[in-house]
A and B are shown apart, each in its own frame.
Chain A
Amino acid sequence: MSAKTRRREEAGLKRANFGDGPGLPTLLLLPQLLILLFFFFIPSLRALMQSVLLSDPFGTNVQFVWFDNFKTLLASSDYRQSIAVTFWFTAAQNVLTLGSALVLAFATDRIVRGRSAYRTIILLPYAIAPAIAGILWAFLFNPAVGPLAQVLHSFGIAWDPNLNPTDALLLVTLAASWKHICYDYIFLVVGLLAVPVSLMEAAAVDGAGPIRRFVSIALPMLGPTIFFLTVMNFIYGFFETFAIIDAVTKGGPAGATNILVYKVFVDGFVNLDLGSSAAQSVLLMSFALICTLLQFRYFDRKVNYGV
């Protein structure tokens, strides 16, 4: 305790530590900080700078244009469509993923026999790359050869994700959700293990059935986990589904699956519109910032009673 009174307690520092010399810790931090500097901070700074510049594709003529890139961007119907598409895609994916994961986690929690076998199979998509998940579903729903598309056709549904925007959006949403259910699922299964049995027993004695108990006891206790998963699903939908879009629809047809992160890529690398691409990056960064702060709330809470 004397050590505690001698010097101010610092957050996240071991009480027993190695003195005050700055040399060694700097050396230890150097690799991480250098990589961050080169691949995170400088590129981000350059994105910020580029977003207020107007340059031609060859970079020979550069003009400072203040917020014109942002104004043009927000006024363009393409960008608005992209926002709408991203929103619907991410929201649908979130509801589908979290909903299925909750039902599956509830079922896993109830049964005794075969639990680990089910869990193993349901976790498999985590190992599969988003691009591959996209390719698998693109095959299943390929209008010419896909078995599921054939089933739809036999019901008289003119399914064709290459021509019909709704079909394309549906296809990538399904593929993205299939790939991500396992993530939400494992967190919910682990979370359910932490619900005290005594609480459940007491509720059962009071006459609450299994579903009632799940809804009124387990679900509120899973609250922080569900909040965290929602944030993670948004991050996944916004950023990691890039591979699915690129491998399956390339943003089409008619921009129906042109989510924001794909548009940054197309505008920057295909259309070489660097100013607009950078402005889009900056807007996405602000979104990522909000998500991270929300995530930190969860992280913070876990730290408080976890350690």
Chain B
Amino acid sequence: MVERSPVLNMICHAILIAGALIVCVPLYFAFVAGSLTVAEVQKVPLPWLPGGRFFDNLQLAWNKGNFSRTFANSIIVALGITAGKIAVSLLSAFAITYFRFRYRMLAFWLIFMSLMLPIEVRIVPTFEAVANAALPLQWILDTLHVTDLWLWISGHEVLIALEWNMVNTYPGLILPLIASATATFLFRQFFLTIPEELCEAARLDGASPLHFFWSILLPLSVPNMVALAIILFLFGWNQYLWPLLFTTDKDMATAVIALKGLIPRSDSEPAWNVAMSGALLTMLPPVLVVLLLQRWFIKGLVDSSK
């Protein structure tokens, strides 16, 4: 604080209160609507105070959205993405910063290039890739005319038709989202700040690379991992496009996708009370994570976007 200026302070508080209100208004009305009956929610004007049906509506939304199943799916997918991304990025970052090998920079640039290809822009080919993960192999075989070659060598005709369908499976929901350039860079950045002496000492003591990684590098990375894990959990929980495409089976849908089914369409009963209860339920886990782990959350957010 450079000088005292009570008037400006008042204005600043007013601005922040206005900002907080703008954040809270939709949440408050979701709560109000979620506590009314269907008849009450259609009244004009909408009541400004909550009614008494909050828990009934929560239960209704829980059943209608198949949430006992879809919440479990969301948790599995979010945790799978989080664990997978962290594991894969830690290993890559370790390889890139601590090893001298010929294709080091090539690997670095391949990972970096994936940053340029947000998954939304190539939905159709990636969908094909998940619908049949063996397709690329098949494609390579076809292009190289392996079957013809085999026919020519052995005289037997073989048909190679590889298929690995990942639609409606957890790997299909998780794997395409696991590769992560940003997480790799975050760990790379962090490894570069670790004193050289640690590695030198480990080598003098005869520790193997993996031993060094496991007992020195990993424990040092825990704060970064926690911060990143929070961001990745939110990312995984809030995924929309992939689960929408890959889950034709209702039992494999995630909570956010199940919620979409609760929104009233023009030809159905305007059950906005149930829809809003469902919205509150679905946003609860990530909101709790942010509220409880705030300090780590901010660190993760600012770090992982470098």
Question: Which of A's residues lie within 8 Å of B, judged by CB?
Answer: 10-22, 24-26, 28-29, 31-33, 35-44, 46-47, 50, 100, 103-104, 106-108, 110-112, 114, 118, 120-133, 135-140, 142, 144-147, 150, 162, 178, 181-183, 186-187, 190, 197, 200-201, 204, 210, 213, 228, 232, 235, 239-240, 242-243, 246-247, 261, 264-265, 268-269, 274, 277-278, 281, 284-285, 288-289, 292, 295, 299, 302-303, 306-307
7 other contacts beyond A264-B121, A299-B185, with CB at 8 A cut-off? A12-B108, A17-B199, A31-B92, A43-B125, A127-B287, A127-B289, A264-B124
The answer to whether B179 and A40 have CB atoms under 8 Å apart is yes
Given that A111-B13, A210-B5 are contacting pairs, would A186 and B301 also be in contact in the complex, using a CB cutoff of 8 Å? yes
Q: Using a CB-CB cutoff of 8 Å, which residues 74-109 of chain B contact chain A?
A: 87-89, 91-92, 94-105, 107-108
The answer to whether A114 and B203 have CB atoms under 8 Å apart is no
A17 contacts which of B87, B98, B244 (Cβ < 8 Å)?
B98
Question: Which of B's residues lie within 8 Å of A, judged by CB?
Answer: 1-3, 5, 8-9, 11-13, 15-16, 19-20, 22-27, 29-30, 33, 41-42, 44-46, 48, 87-89, 91-92, 94-105, 107-108, 110-111, 113-130, 133, 136, 139, 175-176, 178-179, 184-185, 188-189, 191-194, 196-197, 199-200, 203, 209-210, 212, 234, 237-238, 240-241, 244-245, 256, 259-260, 263, 266, 270, 272, 275-276, 279, 282-283, 286-287, 289-291, 294, 297-298, 301-302, 305-306
The answer to whether A138 and B263 have CB atoms under 8 Å apart is yes
The answer to whether B121 and A285 have CB atoms under 8 Å apart is yes
The answer to whether B123 and A265 have CB atoms under 8 Å apart is yes
Given that A19-B100, A39-B179, A150-B46 are contacting pairs, would A127 and B259 also be in contact in the complex, using a CB cutoff of 8 Å? no
A20 contacts which of B101, B110, B305 (Cβ < 8 Å)?
B101
The answer to whether B92 and A29 have CB atoms under 8 Å apart is yes
The answer to whether A32 and B260 have CB atoms under 8 Å apart is no
The answer to whether B89 and A32 have CB atoms under 8 Å apart is yes
The answer to whether A139 and B189 have CB atoms under 8 Å apart is no
Given that A132-B282, A136-B26, A292-B116 are contacting pairs, would A15 and B196 also be in contact in the complex, using a CB cutoff of 8 Å? yes
A44 contacts which of B29, B125, B200 (Cβ < 8 Å)?
B125
Q: State A247–B241 Cα separation when bound (angstroms).
A: 11
B25 contacts which of A46, A140, A302 (Cβ < 8 Å)?
A140
Chain B residues contacting A239 (CB-CB under 8 Å) are 118, 120-121
The answer to whether A33 and B107 have CB atoms under 8 Å apart is yes
**Closest Cβ neighbor of B199 among chain A residues:** A16
Among A112, A114, A125, max chain B CB count under 10 A is at A125
Given that A135-B259, A137-B26, A210-B5 are contacting pairs, would A50 and B124 also be in contact in the complex, using a CB cutoff of 8 Å? yes
Chain A residues contacting B197 (CB-CB under 8 Å) are 16
Given that A39-B176, A131-B259 are contacting pairs, would A18 and B209 also be in contact in the complex, using a CB cutoff of 8 Å? yes
The answer to whether B92 and A32 have CB atoms under 8 Å apart is yes
Given that A31-B91, A36-B110, A127-B289 are contacting pairs, would A14 and B136 also be in contact in the complex, using a CB cutoff of 8 Å? no
Chain B residues contacting A133 (CB-CB under 8 Å) are 26
Q: State A26–B209 Cα separation when bound (angstroms).
A: 13
The answer to whether A14 and B98 have CB atoms under 8 Å apart is yes
B125 contacts which of A103, A278, A288 (Cβ < 8 Å)?
A278
Q: State A124–B21 Cα separation when bound (angstroms).
A: 12
A140 contacts which of B26, B127, B203 (Cβ < 8 Å)?
B26
Q: State A243–B97 Cα separation when bound (angstroms).
A: 37
Q: Closest Cβ of chain A: how far from B226's Cβ, in Å?
A: 16
Q: State A246–B30 Cα separation when bound (angstroms).
A: 20
Q: State A138–B23 Cα separation when bound (angstroms).
A: 15
Chain A residues contacting B1 (CB-CB under 8 Å) are 112
Chain A residues contacting B203 (CB-CB under 8 Å) are 16, 18
Chain B residues contacting A150 (CB-CB under 8 Å) are 44-46
The answer to whether B117 and A35 have CB atoms under 8 Å apart is no
Among B89, B94, B193, max chain A CB count under 10 A is at B94
The answer to whether A122 and B23 have CB atoms under 8 Å apart is yes
Q: State A64–B279 Cα separation when bound (angstroms).
A: 47
Q: List 22 A-B contacts (CB under 8 A).
A: A17-B99, A17-B199, A20-B100, A22-B103, A25-B99, A32-B89, A32-B184, A36-B179, A39-B119, A43-B125, A106-B12, A107-B19, A111-B16, A112-B1, A121-B19, A135-B275, A145-B270, A186-B298, A190-B298, A239-B118, A264-B121, A307-B193
**Closest Cβ neighbor of A211 among chain B residues:** B8
Q: Closest Cβ of chain A: how far from B248's Cβ, in Å?
A: 12
Q: Closest Cβ of chain A: how far from B254's Cβ, in Å?
A: 10
The answer to whether B136 and A121 have CB atoms under 8 Å apart is no
Q: Closest Cβ of chain A: how far from B222's Cβ, in Å?
A: 19
The answer to whether A145 and B46 have CB atoms under 8 Å apart is yes
